[in-house]
Amino acid sequence: MSAGEERAVVATRALTKRFGKVTAVDALDLLVRPGDRYGFLGPNGSGKTTTVRMLLGLVHATSGDIEVLGRPVPRAAREVLPEVGALVEGPGAYPHLSARANLRLLDAAGPARSGGAGAEPLAADTGSRRTRRRRIEDALEQVGLADVGRRPVRTYSLGMKQRLGLASALLRGPRLLVLDEPTNGLDPRGIVEIRDLLLGLNAAGTTVFLSSHLLAEVELFCTRIGVLDRGRLVAQDDLDALRGPTGRTLVRVEDVAAAEQALGLAPGGDTRRDGELALDGTSVADVTDRLVRAGVRVLEAAPERRTLEQSVLELTT
């Protein structure tokens, strides 16, 4: 791989996976940089989960190369995965045990291949009992389960189980978090809490690779986006670049009717939207100058940008 890819947290080259005659992932070139909040998007069946499982060494590629934290996967998976926290295809746990007991088993056994409680361990833990207990309490506190950590997991809601899965991914203070629908089952408040948690972890140096169908949430959290469609990577760019301008200028003014008159627009016409004017073929500087000259107070003026949802739909339909 190139020098740039060697410094990446995740890099794949021509990564391909076939199941018989079906190509699930087709010549994929992913690049996740240190400190990225990477959103991995695409319709159901586009190959996202298969890709994630290959990154974690759970599924072997048909062809192509994978590097995670600078090491080849699956060949060096046992060395790499202790530094990776993962929550893939929902949390796994022993339902008759408490959250603390599930995390104790996972932590004592070593890093799990899938990142979920009850997953296959890689190596035994050599930390002290006190260190392990502190790790478990910190993880439960981070995801908001400290007060219910003694309850059997079978009594948990879907959202609480999702929090437990995330706690298992956080046990070792990973350099990379790989998360599949981490806010599934959470209420709006829970979604905000998990977003804030992940933002804090990222600010402290953890790279986050996140697959989700909640495009509005991805738009609030992620800085870089990859879009998969029918197994092929159809876009990979920074969020701002992917959400390109529509060609319209949005103007918010104190007096919409006065602004329409100054600009020669029909009162209450198609250009008015929720107290704003959406104008084609004019720049921010031009419309601002015209309104100020007419004595209309401009509160805000900016180029309109596509939403992430609009961009993804254009790329996958």
Task: Assess contact for 251 and 298: CB atoms under 8 A.
Answer: yes
Boundaries of CATH 3.30.70.100 in the chain? 244-306
* The domain defined by 244-306 carries CATH number 3.30.70.100: yes
Q: What is the strand order of the sheet 232-238 is part of?
A: 84-87, 176-180, 207-211, 37-41, 224-229, 232-238
Cα distances (Å, whole numbers) of residue 155 to 96, 188, 285, 302: 9, 21, 59, 49
pLDDT at res. 270:
62
pLDDT at res. 117:
38
HSE of 260, CA atoms in CB hemisphere, 13 A: 16
- One-letter amino acid of 44: N
* pLDDT tens digit sequence for 107-155: 776 554 444 433 444 444 446 778 888 889 999 998 889 888 889 999 9
38 vs 170: CA distance, rounded Å:
18
pLDDT at res. 126:
46
Q: What is the CATH number of domain 3-241?
A: 3.40.50.300
Query: Sign of torsion, CA 155 157 162 164?
Result: negative
User: Based on C-alpha coordinates, what's the Rg of the chain?
Assistant: 24
pLDDT at res. 172:
85
Boundaries of CATH 3.40.50.300 in the chain? 3-241
Residues in the chain where the model's pLDDT stays below 50: 3-4, 6, 112-126
